[in-house]
Amino acid sequence: MKTRDKIIREAKRQLNEQGFDRVSIRSIADAVGISPGNLTYHFKNVDTIVYELYMELVEALSASIQEFQPHKLSTQWFYEQTVKNYRVMWDYRFLLLDFVTVTRKNRQVKDHFRQLVAMRQLQFRMFADQMIANGIMQEERVAGLYDRFIIQTIIFSDAWLSDALVHFDEFGDRMFHFYADLMVSGLVPFLTEKGLEEYRGWKASKNDPPFRGYPSILGKM
């Protein structure tokens, strides 16, 4: 593995385990086995490494959108893609957990993220319009309703991980599926009869127990 790649991988490990404020050029260099000067030959500072990792996350999430096939768009597809995306986000979890701190220090990340959100709004609107065309979602009954729902969805996607670290003691698939289920359930009020039938069908096939809330709370009831 090239030195540059070793730096990126070690930085991601430290950032995920220790948080943004506790990682330094020296801590990364010591773990990789190089001098701080050698590291700064590849990356000027921690902020430049963070931007590189941020772009890795963006590319990984964008790749899942490229798999979009209009005729297959359904609530089940949305659920499965959400689980997949949450697994990717977990691999770069420091970015979601420390995002306010990161964007305060790194204007490049903040500016790119704003552009990314604007693009995500358009993509989600395209998904909504296609689900209407597929007979899965109802026509918009109040002007701007779906655009508001899309913003709510984006906020949820950016914030779910902070909530998960409070309410889950074990991190893994159960956690990803829990939040993906919450995300997709937000579509239910907008579904047509066809959409409801499709949603109930794949939900029943999963044989999940009735939803009662956070696992951490249920264990104490």
Where is average pLDDT lowest: 51-65, 67-81, 110-124, 175-189? 67-81
What residues does each domain of the chain span?
Answer: 1-44, 57-218
Give the Cα separation of 155 and 158 in Å (integer): 5
Domain 1-44 and domain 57-218, same fold? Reply is: no
The pLDDT of residue 29: 97
**pLDDT at 124 > cutoff 60:** yes
Mean pLDDT, rounded, of the chain: 92
The pLDDT of residue 64: 76
The pLDDT of residue 4: 95
Average pLDDT estimate for 82-109: 95
- Architecture category of domain 57-218 in CATH: Orthogonal Bundle (1.10)
pLDDT band at residue 221 using 50, 70 and 90 as cut-offs: very low
Average pLDDT estimate for 111-126: 93
The 3-class SS string of the chain reads CCHHHHHHHHHHHHHHHHCHHHCCHHHHHHHHCCCHHHHHHHCCCHHHHHHHHHHHHHHHHHHHHHCCCHHHCCHHHHHHHHHHHHHHHHHCHHHHHCHHHHHHHCHHHHHHHHHHHHHHHHHHHHHHHHHHHCCCECCCCCCCHHHHHHHHHHHHHHHHHHHHHHHCCCCCHHHHHHHHHHHHHCCHHHECHHHHHHHHHHHHHHCCCCCCCCHHHHCCC
The pLDDT of residue 220: 47
**pLDDT at 202 > cutoff 80:** yes
Give the Cα separation of 176 and 170 in Å (integer): 11
pLDDT digits over 138-168, tens only?
Answer: 999 999 999 999 999 999 999 999 999 999 9
The pLDDT of residue 217: 64
**pLDDT at 88 > cutoff 50:** yes
Average pLDDT estimate for 199-217: 87
Provide CATH code, domain 1-44.
1.10.10.60
